[in-house]
Structure 1
Amino acid sequence: MRSHSHTASAVTTQSEAYSPCENCNVAQMSLCHALSCEELRELSAISTSLEVGRGVTIINETDSADYLFNVTAGSIKLFKLLPDGRRQMTGFLFPGDFLGIAMNDLYAYSAEAIEDSRLCRFPREKLEGLLSRLPQLENRLLNMVSHELVLAQDQMLLLGRKTAVEKVSSFLITLVKRGGESSADKHLVPLPMGRSDIGDYLGLTTETVSRTLTNLKKQKIIAIPSGGGIEILDQESLNELAEGLD
């Protein structure tokens, strides 16, 4: 069963003679990290810039895994379709994250843009050809795959052992680690996904997610600015809640 999201009729721009990778604002976090200028040009030569709007499907589960992607702006949600048509959220991707790694010839999950996003798209066969010639690129990709496995293990812990407040607190800590605007005593982290997506990811109802966030706000551990996102006011207390130490 396919997602009901818009078809990925995105705007694409072919790479020019110069390498746009050299000026990428997420290069230090992405697949391109540690490549020389010449190697970046080789990678750029097989890449296409892809801009997708909110709600656009980037890949569909069970489709042929012909492309891989690097997220350079925006945010993406990953999900699997259950036999009854429901969606199980499996993760969220942000700038610097890699998308589309498959163990066989088919994508194992679907991906949809949460907001207007931008990605670099690489044909799988051409990227595999580069991997055989550029050991730094291959090592970087292996590191990113290892990171995905760690995240999957963390997700299993979230779903299996933690309480609602521990799950929500852990999720917010993850967002803090991914970055955001920071000052000496607080962090403002984006929250582009809706409460229902968070609940699906954490194995909670939308109401439980909203109630837990409200309770954290009442305890002055977080604030919820009118402009969006979550402001972490007391990260030490949030850490303790995430670890079940309250």
Structure 2
Amino acid sequence: MYASHLVLSADRATLPPFDLPSEAMTLDCLFAHQPMDKLAVGEALFWEGDMVSNIFQMAEGCLRLYRILPDGRRAIMGFVFAGELLGLSCQGTYRYTAEAITPVRLRRLSRARLNAMGEGAEQLRALLMTRIFEEMSAAQQHIVVLGQLGAEERVAHFLVSATCRTGANLKRPVVVELPMTRQDIADYLGLTVETVCRVLSKFKRDGLIAPEGRHMLVLRRMSSLQDLAGEVDDRALSERPTAVQRPAVWPN
């Protein structure tokens, strides 16, 4: 799943030229001139089993990634927020469905073009490999969360991680917007929705969080949540990519 996709495409000669900047290259450069696509709430970007043909950069909104198990249960693999890439580590067919939780705006780039651009562009290859390694690290961390942490630790980890990834204002108290449902969170953390609601209610009683509106939580005691979550500290919060600092738009 995490293999590199920089193998040269056989049809690369048919692709139009693409000029890459010689200095200060960023992944934003790859998508800067690509047209913007839009998804409505509930619309799928692609379905599990579709052929992998593009990578995507989220500009606004949130996607959920999920699989339907043989017995009909839904397993959420993750969420994608503004500024993040999707599909870079996929090969062959998509192993999950990507569905819009909120109105979404994104740009897409064909895998064939990406492969062609990778030839001789060491800086680009390094940037892409870094993102793939980050996905591997996040997947390994999620295995630890599901396999070793209790319910309160899992929910705390989710809240701290979402704060890092959504570009929430880190002034205390921290305010984070979570457009997904409690059921979404439960399916992602391997818990029941009743357990997620119970833990959030406990966090509220303990003064760790306070709801503010339909999709917003105030994290009143970030340090306590970080202690519960484990492996995430202030350095992680301060080093999140600048690309994710653009505000997302949630539905009313």
TM-score, length of structure 1 as denominator length? 0.78
- Note the C-alpha offset of 1:85: 2.8
1:159-186 C-alpha deviation (Å, 9 max, x unpaired): 1111100000011110122221232x21
Distance 1:43 1:166, change over 3 A: closer
Say whether 1:208 aligns with 2:180.
no
| 3-state SS of 2:95 partner | coil
Say whether 1:82 aligns with 2:72.
no
Query: What 5-or-longer segments of structure 1 have no aligned partner?
Result: 1-32
1:154 equivalent in structure 2 = 141
Say whether 1:225 aligns with 2:209.
no
* Paired residues for 1:1-246 under 5 Å: 34-35=24-25, 40=29, 44=32, 47-178=34-165, 179-183=167-171, 185-243=172-230
Q: Distance in 1 between matches of 2:89 and 2:225?
A: 35
Do the aligned partners of 1:48 and 1:122 also contact (CA within 8 Å) in 2? no
Do the aligned partners of 2:58 and 2:80 also contact (CA within 8 Å) in 1? yes
Supply the AA of the counterpart residue of 1:198: I
Do the aligned partners of 2:61 and 2:82 also contact (CA within 8 Å) in 1? yes
1:40-65 C-alpha deviation (Å, 9 max, x unpaired): 3x7545x3311111111011111110
Do the aligned partners of 1:102 and 1:108 also contact (CA within 8 Å) in 2? no
Identity of aligned residues (%): 34
Alignment RMSD (CA, Å): 2.3
Q: Distance in 2 between matches of 1:62 and 1:177?
A: 31
| Number of equivalences | 209
Query: What 5-or-longer segments of structure 2 have no aligned partner?
Result: 1-22, 232-252
1:21 equivalent in structure 2 = none
TM-score, length of structure 2 as denominator length? 0.77
Distance 1:44 1:151, change over 3 A: same
Structure with bigger RCO (C-alpha 8 Å, 6+ apart): 2
Distance 1:235 1:44, change over 3 A: closer
Runs of 4+ in 1 over 6 A off after TM superposition: none
